[in-house]
Structure 1
Amino acid sequence: MSYIVKRTTGTAGAPLFLTFHGTGGSEDQFHSFAEQLIPGAHVTSPRGDVSENGAARYFKRAAEGVYDMEDLGERTHAMADFIAGEVAQTHATRVIGLGYSNGANILASVAMMQGDLVDDLILMHPLIPFTPTPQRCLKGRRALITAGENDPICPPDLTQQLVTYLTEQGADVTMHWHSGGHGIAQSEIAAVQQFLS
């Protein structure tokens, strides 16, 4: 699988910062945000290669919250290979991933499959409606999860289940709630900045 990708070449020894858009977004959605968060970083932003009625996504689904698990598995492997290639190309010793909604879901899925690939996970409004298998390589990884208390797409109980899962794997998890829905609140931006500072 090949992606349309936006890349910014960083300075030698800088972290690799990967960004993953939400459904209907593009490689531009968080690219400049990542550049601002860590000046000098290598920034890589792949566009999802699945089209859902013209909206770009990273994997197929049958309905809202109903994933095509076979397709998710295949595309998770492909994304893990892509990330490994970016790491090899940049020689980065620290890898940061930021994803929103569908982008957070593919990033989380990669971490659940290959826990040592991304060091710092920023999962904004993730939805993992299945029980992941244990992943011992997540031990010591840092994760920030942001979510809306009134998100109609990502129920708070499923968000909490993901927090519990990551914590049980030994990850260092920070949770940020806001009172809104599925949109990104200003407080989430501040939480991301604080997480990376």
Structure 2
Amino acid sequence: MADYQYREHQGSDATAPLLFVFHGTGGDENQFFDLGQQLLPDARVVAPRGNVSEGGALRYFRRTAEGVYDMDDLRLRTGQMADFVAQRRDESQPRRVIGLGYSNGANILAAVQFSQPGLFDQTVLMHPLIPFIPADADFVGRSVLITAGRRDPIAPASATQALADYFTRNGAKASLFWHEGGHELRQEELRETQRFLGR
């Protein structure tokens, strides 16, 4: 069980949506904390800090090179994060559990979904890179939004499309939003995220 440092904003009541926000490499628990409150003002927002350092940059799991993951470490960290999410969920009675992650944060969020498909009701995966084929799982009743740049040098468009196809094939209501840029976040994908979470 990992002892994550995290920031938290209390929701409007015990049944408020529970929103987890996961930062990218080099970010921390502050990166999307305010954004989470802006997107869902009544939600309880939990922002865990990655506990792996890569040259001083915080991450959620180790890698051996760009796009090459330490799969043993990923399995370990995925289990730890799934436990953390479940513990925070069990502290209240949220009417839905939502995850939002960017880059490395999207990758750990997706990995948790692969291992525990019933944990999140909705997820927003911003510029994820999953360079392996996940095992099939039951995502019926779950909603996933993937946002990406068509010219992203880190997360190739083909891998992004394959991830969206995976979720659709396994029963999720999955949508894919593209912008014409690279790995950066753009206002249009934040607007799409707001629409998605408001459904």
TM-score, normalised on structure 1? 0.98
Contact 1:97–1:120 (8 Å) recurs in 2 = yes
Contact 1:24–1:57 (8 Å) recurs in 2 = yes
Distance 2:12 2:188 in 1: 30
Map of 1:5 onto structure 2:
6
Aligned counterpart for 2:70 among listed residues 68, 71, 75:
68
Distance 1:58 1:139 in 2: 27
Taking the TM superposition and a 5 Å limit, the aligned residue runs for 1:110-129 are 110-129=112-131
Distance 2:37 2:155 in 1: 28
Map of 1:80 onto structure 2:
82
**1:90: how far off?**
2.4
Distance 1:148 1:11 in 2: 34
Letter in 2 for 1:2: D
For the residue of structure 1 that corresponds to 2:133, the secondary structure is coil
Distance 2:87 2:3 in 1: 12
Aligned counterpart for 1:41 among listed residues 40, 43, 49:
43
Taking the TM superposition and a 5 Å limit, the aligned residue runs for 1:1-197 are 1-12=2-13, 13-136=15-138, 138-197=139-198
Contact 1:42–1:90 (8 Å) recurs in 2 = no
**1:69: how far off?**
0.4
Letter in 2 for 1:150: R
Distance 2:36 2:85 in 1: 16
For the residue of structure 2 that corresponds to 1:39, the secondary structure is coil
**1:165: how far off?**
0.4
Q: Structure 1: which 5+ residue stretches go unaligned?
A: none
> Structure 1 vs Structure 2: percent identity of aligned residues?
53
- RMSD after superposition: 0.6
**1:11: how far off?**
1.8
Contact 1:14–1:42 (8 Å) recurs in 2 = yes
> Segments of 4+ in structure 1 off by > 3 A?
none
For the residue of structure 1 that corresponds to 2:112, the secondary structure is helix
Distance 1:79 1:61 in 2: 17
Distance 1:90 1:21 in 2: 24
TM-score, normalised on structure 2? 0.97
Aligned residue pair count: 196
**1:31: how far off?**
0.8
Distance 1:56 1:177 in 2: 27
**1:111: how far off?**
0.3
For the residue of structure 1 that corresponds to 2:21, the secondary structure is strand
Letter in 1 for 2:121: D
**1:154: how far off?**
0.1
Distance 1:55 1:118 in 2: 27
Distance 1:90 1:149 in 2: 39
Q: Structure 2: which 5+ residue stretches go unaligned?
A: none
Distance 2:105 2:3 in 1: 16
Letter in 2 for 1:63: A
**1:107: how far off?**
0.2
